[in-house]
Amino acid sequence: MFLTHLECSACGRQHDWSRLQNLCAACQKPLFAIVDLAAVSRTVKRETLAAREKSLWRYREVLPLTDGVEPVSLGEGGTPLLRAQKFGGDVDLWVKDESLNPTQSFKARGMSVAVSMAKYLGAEKLAVPSAGNAGGALAAYAARAGLDAHIFMPRDTPRANIIECRELGAHVTLIDGLITDCAAEIARRKEEEGWFDMSTLKEPYRVEGKKTLGYELVEQLGWQLPDVILYPTGGGTGLIGMWKAFTEMESLGWISKKRPRMFAVQATGCSPIVRAFEAGEKTAAEFRNAHTIASGLRVPKAIGDFLILKLLHQSNGGAVAVDDEEMIRTMREVGSKEGLFVCPEAAACFAALKLLQRPGKIAPGERVVIFNTGAGIKYLDCYESQ
Ligand SMILES: *Cc1c(COP(=O)(O)O)cnc(C)c1O
Ligand SMILES: [Zn+2]
């Protein structure tokens, strides 16, 4: 293993990886796992990866977990990168179909790595707030690891997510409120209950799992970076993870300096990052009365807001909001044109592509990647009122 220590993403203070850690002890901001990239580059060449298992654990050298320890795995990662046939018009559009992960969403990536580390470091009871797919993923990996999962969900979370968590053996508590209220409930009780908080970016390893989106995408594109990435942004873990992956890959000598323009796509009814980006702010204020059918985007306050906003600026990208009706309409358009029943979060990205193409913010011929972060079939509730 090449993990050396944890480092605060805000104040830079170092922390020991070998015991369970949540936020920076000094400033309460997210911790990043730091890997000895010079040693990795001496050990593994990018070409050797091709022969390995089709799973995110093929990138084992840049992931945490001590050598010889078996990861908690259900076959996550290794998802197809599909070329869009009709939707993109004159852009070169690709879809990374993350709905083929265990529990049908890319949350599996983060949870495989985070649960592997939590188990290794001795956690027994894991807790997470979830408005959608994070709960199911934690429930599955905790079950696989033989650990307890305690999941707090807003009462209006899609039924499929709630049932999935229960059937996977998790303790599910429904809360009248938003994901932020669920997080507050965990924070209030975790000490007494002995829960380890698995909230996104409040422990260092879910983002390590999500960074494999970046490694895998670039490997599938023949070690080239796309021009644009459209990412449905809730907590922003995938954006932050991919940005970290690109930095690491450049240090490894696996890619050039080029970076994609990164766009955060949110729902009009919950768009704190879009609002902050447009106002030129460095952090995003809590979004009041958040509501959207895209439950993965229903995050009124993200702890990594400053990291998201920084990378959007650095990449020369942006932030776009799409309303719920447009998402539902676009789900059908993508379904009928591409044969993919995408989640509403991803549908928002397809709609955002059109919004960006019109004023020429994405030019003809540019290579664009959209992440279908989850399966549309989990959102049947969206159709009851139709
Ligand atoms: C969680 C989730 C998102 C948001 O992901 P972040 O990395 O937390 O921004 C998007 N889409 C789906 C389907 C999700 O479950
Ligand atoms: Zn700090």
Choice from 180, 182, 233 to test ligand 1 binding pocket (greatest atom count within 8 A of CB): 233
In this structure, the residues whose C-beta lies within 6 A of any atom of ligand 1 are: 105, 107, 132-134, 200, 232-238, 296, 343, 345, 373-374
Q: What is the mean pLDDT of residues 174-192?
A: 93
The CA 297 to ligand 1 mean position distance, Å, reads 6
pTM (2 decimals)? 0.97
Does residue 47 form part of some domain? Answer: no
Question: How many percent of the chain have pLDDT more than 70?
Answer: 99
Residue range of the domain that includes 350: 81-106+205-383
| pLDDT greater than 70 at residue 386 | no
The CATH number of the domain holding residue 140 is 3.40.50.1100
Does residue 158 form part of some domain? Answer: yes
Per-residue pLDDT reduced to its tens digit, 112-149: 999 999 999 999 999 999 988 999 999 999 999 999 99
Nearest-CA residue for ligand 1 atom 12 is: 296
Residues 306 and 179 in one domain: no
Which span out of 128-132, 166-170, 378-382 was modeled with the highest average pLDDT?
166-170
Residues 168 and 301 in one domain: no
The structural domain count of the chain equals: 2
Spatial neighbors of 336 by CB under 8 A, at least 6 apart, are: none
Question: How many percent of the chain have pLDDT more than 90?
Answer: 96
Which amino acid, one-letter code, is at 46?
A: R
pLDDT band at 385 (very low <50, low <70, confident <90, very high): low
Q: What is the mean pLDDT of residues 107-113?
A: 98
Q: Considering 197, 218, 248, which residue would you say is the last residue of a domain? A: 197
Q: Considering 197, 225, 252, which residue would you say is the last residue of a domain? A: 197
Per-residue pLDDT reduced to its tens digit, 350-361: 999 999 999 999
Residues 95 and 160 in one domain: no
Does residue 35 form part of some domain? Answer: no
Residue 179, pLDDT score: 87
The Cα 96–Cα 251 span in angstroms is 25
Residues 237 and 325 in one domain: yes
Q: What is the mean pLDDT of residues 265-290?
A: 97
Residues 184 and 306 in one domain: no
Query: Which DSSP category does 257 fall into?
Result: S
Residues 141 and 228 in one domain: no
Residues 253 and 320 in one domain: yes
